[in-house]
Structures are given as C-alpha cells and as structure tokens.
Structure 1
Amino acid sequence: MKTLARMGVGLGQQAVAACLLLVAWIVGVPAWAHSALERSIPADGDVLTKPPRQLELFFATPVYLTQGGLTLKDQQGTVHPTLLGAPVAAEGGRRYIIPLRETLPDGTYTLTLRALARDGDPLTAELRFAVRELPAAPRTPTTFGLAASEPADGTLLPSPPPRVVLRFTQPVQRVLGALVLDDRQQPVAGENAHVDPADPTVLVIPLDRPLRAGSYKVIAYVFAADGVPANPVLYFAVERVTPFPPPAPVPFAWTGVLALPETWLRALMLSTLLVLAGGSAFVAWWAPPSGAKGRWRVVVRATAVLGILAAAGLLTLRAHSLGGSILELLRLPVGGIPLLQAALMMASAAVSQERVRAGAAALALALHPLTGHPALPGVGGPATLATAVLHLLAAATWLGGVVALLALCPRHEPADWLRTAAQRFAPFALLALIVLVGTGLGLAADLSGSWQGFWASDWGRVVRTKAAVLLAIAFLGAAQRRRVARRSALGTSFLARLWLELGLGLSAVLLGTALGTLNPVAGVFPTRIVQNGITARLTVWPLAVGHNMLTVRLEPDPAARRVTLRFFMPPDFRMESTAFHVGPGTYAVVGNQLHGPGRIDVTVRVEQADGTVLAFPFRVEVPLPGR
C-alpha cells in the first residue's frame, strides 16, 4: 500500500503539471491592460501654434495616475521634470488634467505615462506633440464632396443598375481610384471609371456585367482642381441586403494575458488564499485524526510564504506603474488591500488553531474582489461584490479541501483514512461546486453587461473555458464519490484522480486570474431607447472590429422617410451611413463602420414623413482580442 500511495503521488504530480501546461500551451505576446488612453488634448501628433497651458488625458476606464508616472521629454531627449504639475482627476478617474508650470518653447515633445487601472492592471502610453509658430497662410476654404449618387446610398434595388454615377459639388480634376466591391470584398467594377466629358462634376463607373443579388460598396478617391481630395463611401444592394464577410475569429488571442507577470503573481496569491482558507476549514471540521499534522503545518507555512512573496511582487509592479512611489500606492485599494492580505496570511501561518487560521485566511480572501472587476465603477456593485466573495469561498472549500486531504493522507495504509475523510468531505465539496457554478453564472451576467458581448469578447471565451474545466472537475468528483459509495479499494487511482482534480483546480484559478486583465464589458448599451412612443433597438453582428451588419428595429413601425446611422469614435472619427429598409420597421447598415475597439457612439436618426427627426443615441463597446 505504501508503494501504491507513492505511485499515486507521482502520477498526481505529473497530472498537475500536465493541466498547467494544457492551459498555457499557446502563450503568445503580452496583452495590455483593459483600460487605454482613448484620446488627449492636444491629440497625438498635433502641431500647436500656441503653447498649451495644460494637457488633458481621457481613458477608457478609470485609472490611477500620479506625477511620478509622467515623463516629458523634448526632441533632444532631455527630461523636464519641473514643467509638469500634479495631475488632477476628473470624471471619476477617466479624465486627468495636467497643468504646465511654465510656457513650452518651440519644439517637439513626448509625454510618457505609466498608470494603473482600478483593478491593478498596468497601463503605458505615449503622446507626441509639437509647438511651432507657423506663418499664417490665408486660404479660401473649398467645399468639395459628393452631392448625389445613382444608386443613392442605402438604396435596395429590384434589379442591377447599368452603371454607378457619382456627382460632386465641383469638377473632378483627377481620379486616383474608384471601385465597386461585392459582399465578398471582391472588385466587380472600377477599371473603366471616368469623368463625364459633358459634365466634369460627374464620375461614371460602368458595370460591365450584371450584378448578382447582394450588397455592394462603392469607394472613390478623387481631387478637385485646387488639389482638395474627396473620398466618398456608399452602399447599395440588389434584390436583398447581405452582410460583408466578418473578420476571421481569433479564438485564443486571450492566451497572451498568461504571459504577463501580473497574471501569474495574482494566480499565485489567489491560490495561496484559497488553500489556506479552505484547507484550514477542512482540518478544523472534517478531517479525521491523522498523524500527518506536521506535514500540513509545513504546507501552511510554505503556502503563506508564497502568498506573501506574490503580494510583494504585485506591489513592486504596481509601484513601478505609478512612478516608483510605494507610499502613494499604499493609499490606493490596489496597494493597501494586498498589503493587508499579506498581513493576514502571515497571521494565519503563525497561529496554531485551525479555526482561527481559517477565519484570517477567509477574511483575506473576502478582500480580494475589492481590487477586481466587481469593484469597478459602472461595472460591479454591492451585489456583484457579495457574489464574488461567495464564489471565492466556494472555490476555497473545494480546492483547499483537496490540498489538505492530500497533505494529511497517511503514507502507511491510507485506504481507511481516505474513505472516512472522503465521506465527510464529499457533501461539502459537491455543495461548493454547485455554489461555484451558480455564482459564476451570476458574475458572468453582472459583469459582461450583455449576452452578445459575453459571446463575442475574450472575457466571455475565458469564462467558457473555465466552465469547461469546472465541468471536468465535477465529472472527476462524481467518479470519486461512486468509488467511495461502493466501498471500492482506494489506492493509486484514487490518489491520482485527486492530484488531477488539484491540477484542474489550479488551472481554473489561473483562468480566473486572466479574467481580471480582460475587459468584460462589450455589447450595445442601452438595449432599447424610447422616443415619442417609438422604441428603437440596435444589434451588431458580428460584434468585432471590421465588417458588420447593424440592424435597427423600430416599434411600432413609423414608416420613416429615411434612417441614418451616425458614428463617432474619439478623438475625431465620424461617419454617416444611410440604412437599407429591409422590412417593416427594420433597417440595416452594412460595411466596416466599426473601425476600432472600445467605445463607439452610434446615433440612429429617424426622419419621419412629416419632416420631424428622432434621435436614438446608443453606445457600442467593441472588444479587442487579447484585451
């Protein structure tokens, strides 16, 4: 039996290693924090004719930014530490104003910033701008653009047109290019595009062959006589509206977060808290008498040391992101809470009573969500925090119990002890898994914001991967319960499966830690808007950067004369598209209007038959793979 136990330990350790390798086998390039610098004043690349009095930074989510995290250099690489004042937070930390203490002389400047997202993820960015006194060059503004087209933008035709005609506000001097693309992104016309000799304001694109049914995109790039360019983009469809090809999915882009030191330090710290809290509870209430208490004390001390080292590593990384000031970091939740958790881990390792140890570790574990997504403004809330704490306590009950079970298992004739321990622990382990799954579903619903975003984002993909791991653990646990219920011999295979469960559990912890680096918010917000008794709903498919189909549904059907969608993304991306009327109260826009990840404001404008215009403002949060 001694040989069998050793074989079980060996097989189990190999299983733990295999599970961790399974999760990290495709670790790629590092990912960034889910917050980002969205825009700035001055904007990146701006050339200013007057020195600015202050700099303004706008972030995707609230961040912590201190003076130590800011560096201003000129074109010679000289650092000017006295020019920047202390940053002032506004809008809950999404906007920062940085006063300039002195007037900037002419030159090119680079502002480098290091900041922390509210959940502790590091953020780095650079902003380049120049100050130059440029000579005034008076010039009469010229308006040159598309005046009309045949077919008109957003027209659904019953049959193919013989040609495409673009009419501009001024004569076209030069045509750089013109294309008609089908819904497979293949050019179908454009080689014979020419300016009409009888009317130089008209660009004609002949269609050499009849177009098949589907959507088409027209792009032109032309110049007026004074060199002013115009780049119109419009869409029309023949017989039916079809989407353009969606971007190729990147299902494992999220694995880049596993390469981050922050992810592994978080996983190590969380694992130690789970083991200390759940393992001590198992020893205090469920474990039968064992002669291996000394081995468990060694596990407790080693685990606490690893957790304290992980906390120290996290504090070091976060202090660096704030400019090296540990005192400023400790005033923030992402600094003060890990320090308090380390103190509680130290206390749990020092006491001898298991119940006191379990209480101290459980308190440290309950503090953990305060530095994660559940505590982010606009994302979580009190109910989400309570759900997250219950989720972690359930995970601790199961994972810590497995570790304590393995640590306390006698080396000589372990079968009877294992059977008694398993019979006592099995009901609580089953309950813990049920609570773990239930609270996980609740957190997914609370944090993702929308089910569409949950399925489209990498955050949702990691949640689904973690759920698959938990399902595998549940199957293993069921097999173990059957063996105990049938009073089968508990030997090598039982111990090996215990180690395999432990490996899967640690993999689930690593996946859960990766969730903290990914942005859970994606989708269309709000889900519906009511104006003058009309309800508007907007859906996006696929919810990704690239080509999409945006569908607007209006109830009751207002029989609108025209529906347009206006897109705005900071700092200066603006576009307007006319929607196809594809059914009663249903309108669609196809194309690549979602040019980048993050927030895009989409305003649906409905022109009614009496000339009144209703505006429905939506916010689309587009996920980025690996963010």
Structure 2
Amino acid sequence: MSFFIKEIGKVSLLFIFIFSIFPESFAQAHSSLVKTLPEGEEVLKESPQTIEVWFLDPVVLHSNTITLMGSSGNRVAFENAYIDPKDPTHIIGNVPDTLPADRYTANINVIALDGDILTETFSFKVLREEPKKPESLKLVKHSPVDGQILNGKPNKIDLWFTHSAELTAIGVFDRTQQSIKLKEPYKDPEDPAHIIVEFDEPLEDGTYQVTWYASSSEEELSNQLEIVDVFYFAVNEFTSIEDGSIGTMIQTSWFPDLDLKQFGYWFIFLGLSILFGSNFFIHLVSKEVKEYKRWKRISLGLIFMTTMGASFLIRQQRIEMADLPLLEFFSLQYIWIPVVQIVLLLLGFMVKKLEFLAFGIALLMGPFVMGHASYPRYGGFLTIMVNILHLVAASIWLGGLFALLTMAKRNEFGELLKKVGTSFSKWAFWSLLVIILTGFIMTIQYVPSFSFESFIKSQWGKAVIIKIGLTLLIVFIGFLQRNTLQKLAAALVNKFYRRGIIEILYGVFLLLFASILVVSTPSAAERGIYPLKSSYEQELKVDISPLKEGLNVLTLDFKKEIDMENVKINISMPPENDIEYDAFKIKEGTFKITGNILHGAGSLLMKVEAKEPNGDIRKYEYTIVVPGERMGKE
C-alpha cells in the first residue's frame, strides 16, 4: 500500500506539471466552410430567396442554425434551415420575406459529427433602388503590371483609376520586406485619374511588393470605402520574398483546446474501459475465480466517474448552445448517447446477468459520437470499426490489468497470479498488438500527408507522439512482466505487482492524451496539395515552399511541351478571403508567385487559369491544406 501511495504522489506531481502547460481556455469552433451563397461581402441588387452554406463534412442542424441580423441589430425572422437531400454538406435556409436594402450578417451555427460546435459569420449587402451614381472607384491598370519581370531599373509606379482619386497610402517592399523610399505621389496634370509615384532610391534586383490604398475625389462618392490592392513585380530577376525581421517568439500552450469537455472524455474513457475490461477479465480470463467481493463497490465508483465525465460534456455543450430549447438540446445524439451509456452501466450494475452485455454496449456506443472517426473524409463507418477495435483492445488490456491487481487481497495476489497470470498475459499481448496496428491505421487515415514540423507543432500531433511514447513504455513493461511470469517466484510477485501499478498509471495517462485527440483537429497536422482531378498530375506539377501560414513561394511547372503565355492564380478561403495573382514567368513552362499567399491555417481552394499562345484556356483546381491550429477544432 505504501508503494501505491508513493506512486500516487508522483502522479500528482505530474498532474501539476500538466496543468501548468494547459491554459484556462474554452475551445472555439473552427471553420470548415467551403462555400456560401450569397458570397461573403457580395452586393445584391435584390433580396436573396435563400441563405446557403456548404461545409467540408456533413453536419447536424438545430433551430438556431441560421440567424440573420441587419446593420441596426434587428434580427430577421428566419425559417428553420434544412439539409439538401442530395448533399449532406449543403445547408439551405429560406428567407421568409423580402429583405429591405441594408447590410446583413448571417450567423451560422451547426454541430459537427463528433458534437463540436462550428460557427461561421459572413456579410452581404442588399442595395437600395436609388438614382444611378457615378461608377465606383476602381483601378483600371498599373505599371509595372502584376507578375512582370522588368529589364533595367524602373523609376516610378503608375496607377490609372476609373476617375479622379487620392492615394491615401502606398508602400513598396523589397524581398526582405524592407520599405523602399518613395517621393510624394502626384497626379498627371493631363489626367487626374492617373497617379504617379516615383522612387527616391534605385531598386536592387529582385521581387517587390506594392500595397496601396486610395479613395475617390468625386463628391458623390465621398462616403465610399477606401479601396486597397496588392501587386508584385520584379527587377531583372525573380526572388522569393523573405521575412527580414527578427521578432520575439510567442510562447503558445502545448494543448490550447483543453477544457471541461476534454476532461469529460477522459473520465468516460477511463470509466468505460476499466468497467468493460475488468468484466471481460472476470467472465473470460479468470473463470475459475468464483468470487470477486470488492467488484460491486469498485464498479460503482467507476460508474460514478463515468457519470461525472458525461455531466462535464453535457454542461459544456449546454454552455455552447444556451439558446437552444431544452427538449431540442436533449434530442441531439451527442447528448442522449452519454445519458444512455450511464443508464446501461446502472442496468449492468443492478442486474448481474446483464453486466457484461450492458457494459460492452455502453463502450461500443462511444466511437459513434466521440472523436473524428464518424467524419466521411476520414473513412466513416470503416474508421469507426477500427476505432472500436482500438478501444476494445485498450479496454481488455487496461481493465484486465486493473482487475488482476484489485481482485485479490494483497497477501493472496501471488496465488491469483499463478492461476490466471499466463492466460491474461496472452490477452494483453494480442491487445497491445491490436492497439498499435489500429493506432497506426487511424493516424494515416486522419493525416495522410504531413511534414515532421507540421506534425510536431500541432496539438493533435503532440498528443499522438506522447501516446506513442507511453505505449512503448507499456510494451517494455509488458515484456518484463512476461519474463517474470515464466520464472515466477515469491520474490518476483511483489515486483510484478509494482510494475502492474506503474503500467496502469501509464494507461491512465494514455487515455488522457487519447481524450486530447478527441478535442484536437487532425488536419492541423496535415500538410498537402491535392488536385481535384487526378488527370492534373499528368499536366502540371505544383509545389509550395515552405507550405505554412505566411510567406511562401508557389511554383507551377507545366509538363506538356506548350509554352503558356500567362497564368492567373486565385486562392480563396470562404467566406470572405479571395485573392488573385498574375504569376511571374520564370522560363518556358515555369511560373511562380511569392509573398504572403497563405493567410491562414486550414483548407484553401486554388484555381489556376493558364492561357496558351493560341488563346485556349486550361483550368486546374487544387485543395491546399495549410498546417496549423485553427480557431478551435472540427
């Protein structure tokens, strides 16, 4: 007992360390939005009949899924949204009445397949019927043009607008993002829509970024918002834009998504795994042991732990969905399934004949609502089955070991070990093999493409690596335990017992990091470029370096013997991030762009339009997955 108390003390110190690296935070839902109608910041001439959104995965709706707010804060009465019968990722909400002219904000609130709340916001305008005004200020052309490699040293930048304009700010930055000295901008005396900006110093060879802000000089358009744009040109040669500043590294927490919900998952995993695994041990491994007097008391404590975990989940979910009617809230499967699990545990506790079956069903229900296995892009039903195998194997190992160490009194442990030790060792051996194999399959399924950096920097990757480390420690202890069983002697029984306690403690922490995986985003560790059609790979090679948020170089190499005339690249992340670039032509068949082209972590859509000398246009579409923690999880 003294050894057990010492180990608990060590574990308590480890808990203090773990809590010190976890911030007090509540996870926010992250964007997995693919498309919206109306589009973000779209200007409509008439009221839309529907509000439509597309998510990356199927989602669950509720009565407050779509709300619409006018600029004055007035809420538009909105009919319940519904899912497109032909596309479970497509949500449609009918606008009940004609919207008057105003700026509107659509708030989207849905539930992911694992119970997490996903929120999105985008805005659009409905125009008033007013007398026609002069054309809004727009940039007509500029020199140098976007994606142009100039021969020789330019001495100015020319900007032509639709009408007279004021340049409120302009900056030119070299390849190290250092600003270039400029003279005061001035208007062309013969054309007020033409603004000239001269350089105050000669330009070195390399790539330059130009960022400008302008407003209209026309009185009728004085209240028009400032317009802004960015373009790139190069002097004599293309160079990648680099970060020339040296800043202070920002300290971030290892596991930013830790909250009450994560601890709820941990307690549920612990309770269900030990309950089922111990019961498996009692009924199938140690059949000759007729009595297990302490099991009722221990199982009641484990049921209490599981109930506490379920209450944590429900409480956190209720905080996130406070506006949802209570009846509708409890109709969600992420709420009623934990409740059913507790009912099954209590039923098994009260009816001994149903104990094994009830505990088993409660355990198997978990993967359908906890974790990422239910997402179709991760494999759906097949991944759920792999997840179930993983969970059952972990339960047989951890719960069986727990039963072995607690079934008999301390002075009777040696006798019990002689009777069932070899049998349990075989079950534990095969369980660990299944745990390792299914864990590997799920990791590859969740993150098919990654770099070491993207994996180790993500919350999900860190939890996987710690799980692997703990599993290896458990395998090592298991190897020692099997050797001990082969030459079992009185002196070795105590050693087996102490190692068993340490192994259980490692298992408890293994489930802690398994629960962190549930609240983490696997795609935060993912890094890749995926063509929407496999045929693209035969014509075009795409590379982005270093493929992370911020400054990058995107290279397009056309494989066919066609000298493309020019290439336009559009990179977007709904609902409102949409940027177009004219690529630099480096040599025949090779085009590049550089700069801050990947503005955030997540899935981006890239469209490429390549024009051939004969005027034909070739189009390509890719999904770019940028590694990094989103604003929350899936």
Query: How would you bin the TM-score normalised by the shorter chain?
Result: 0.7 to 0.9
- Aligned partner of 2:615 among 588, 598, 611: 611
- In 2 relative to 1, CA 245–416 (structure 1 residues): closer, same or farther, beyond 3 Å? farther
SS of equivalent residue, structure 1 residue 538 = strand
1:31-50 equivalences in 2 (<5 Å): 31-34=27-30
- In 2 relative to 1, CA 134–555 (structure 1 residues): closer, same or farther, beyond 3 Å? closer
- Aligned partner of 2:4 among 9, 21, 27: 9
Quote the offset at 1:614 in angstroms: 0.8
- Aligned partner of 1:86 among 80, 94, 112: 80
Query: Match of 2:435?
Result: 436
**Identity of paired residues, percent?**
24
Whether contact under 8 Å (1:16, 1:502) holds in the other structure is no
Bigger Cα displacement from structure 2, 168-177 vs 396-405: 168-177
- Whole-angstrom CA distance in 2 between matches of 1:305 and 1:532: 56
Query: Match of 1:391?
Result: 390
Q: Does 1:571 align with 2:540?
A: no
Quote the offset at 1:10 in angstroms: 0.8
SS of equivalent residue, structure 1 residue 566 = strand
**What one-letter code is carried by the residue in structure 2 that aligns with 1:203?**
I
Whether contact under 8 Å (2:255, 2:459) holds in the other structure is no
Q: Does 1:244 align with 2:242?
A: yes
**What one-letter code is carried by the residue in structure 1 that aligns with 2:581?**
S
Whether contact under 8 Å (1:319, 1:326) holds in the other structure is no
Query: Match of 1:3?
Result: none
- In 2 relative to 1, CA 478–234 (structure 1 residues): closer, same or farther, beyond 3 Å? same
Quote the offset at 1:368 in angstroms: 1.9
- Whole-angstrom CA distance in 2 between matches of 1:492 and 1:156: 77
**What one-letter code is carried by the residue in structure 1 that aligns with 2:116?**
D
1:299-318 equivalences in 2 (<5 Å): 299-315=298-314, 317-318=316-317
- Aligned partner of 2:139 among 145, 160, 163: 145
- State the Cα deviation string for residues 483-538 of structure 1 (Å, max 9, x = none): 55565734666544433332332222232223233333454463474569943343
- In 2 relative to 1, CA 409–460 (structure 1 residues): closer, same or farther, beyond 3 Å? same
Whether contact under 8 Å (1:154, 1:579) holds in the other structure is yes
Quote the offset at 1:577 in angstroms: 1.5
Q: Which runs of 5+ in 2 are unaligned?
A: none
Bigger Cα displacement from structure 2, 203-212 vs 433-442: 203-212
- Whole-angstrom CA distance in 2 between matches of 1:400 and 1:532: 51
Q: Does 1:190 align with 2:190?
A: no
- State the Cα deviation string for residues 29-74 of structure 1 (Å, max 9, x = none): 2222345667766678899897766544554543322226677788
Quote the offset at 1:23 in angstroms: 4.2
- Aligned partner of 1:538 among 518, 526, 542: 542
**What one-letter code is carried by the residue in structure 2 that aligns with 1:436?**
I
Q: Does 1:345 align with 2:338?
A: no
- In 2 relative to 1, CA 558–504 (structure 1 residues): closer, same or farther, beyond 3 Å? farther
| CA-atom RMSD in angstroms | 4.2
Q: Does 1:589 align with 2:582?
A: no
Whether contact under 8 Å (2:267, 2:308) holds in the other structure is no
- Aligned partner of 2:553 among 517, 529, 549: 549
1:10-409 equivalences in 2 (<5 Å): 10-28=5-23, 29-34=25-30, 55-59=51-55, 61-67=57-63, 83-90=77-84, 92-99=87-94, 101=96, 115-123=110-118, 136-142=130-136, 144-145=138-139, 147-150=141-144, 152-155=145-148, 161=153, 163=155, 165-169=157-161, 173-187=165-179, 189-192=180-183, 194-195=185-186, 201=194, 203-206=196-199, 208=201, 211=204, 215-223=207-215, 225-226=217-218, 229=227, 231-236=229-234, 239=237, 241-242=239-240, 244-245=242-243, 255-259=255-259, 261-287=260-286, 293-315=292-314, 317-318=316-317, 321=321, 323-325=323-325, 327-328=327-328, 332-352=332-352, 357-371=355-369, 372-409=371-408
**What one-letter code is carried by the residue in structure 2 that aligns with 1:605?**
E
SS of equivalent residue, structure 2 residue 597 = strand
Bigger Cα displacement from structure 2, 24-33 vs 110-119: 110-119
Quote the offset at 1:565 in angstroms: 1.2
- In 2 relative to 1, CA 603–72 (structure 1 residues): closer, same or farther, beyond 3 Å? closer
- Whole-angstrom CA distance in 1 between matches of 2:143 and 2:62: 53
- Whole-angstrom CA distance in 2 between matches of 1:174 and 1:78: 36
- State the Cα deviation string for residues 336-363 of structure 1 (Å, max 9, x = none): 533443333233323436xx64443333
**What one-letter code is carried by the residue in structure 2 that aligns with 1:384?**
T
Whether contact under 8 Å (1:66, 1:115) holds in the other structure is yes
Quote the offset at 1:265 in angstroms: 1.4
Quote the offset at 1:591 in angstroms: 1.5
Quote the offset at 1:399 in angstroms: 1.7
Bigger Cα displacement from structure 2, 558-567 vs 437-446: 558-567
TM-score of the superposed pair, with normalisation by structure 2: 0.81
Whether contact under 8 Å (1:409, 1:418) holds in the other structure is no
Query: Match of 2:514?
Result: 512
Quote the offset at 1:118 in angstroms: 1.7
Quote the offset at 1:104 in angstroms: 6.8
Bigger Cα displacement from structure 2, 545-554 vs 17-26: 17-26
Q: Which runs of 5+ in 1 are unaligned?
A: 1-5
State the aligned residue count.
612
Whether contact under 8 Å (1:282, 1:401) holds in the other structure is yes
SS of equivalent residue, structure 2 residue 29 = coil
- Whole-angstrom CA distance in 1 between matches of 2:281 and 2:97: 63
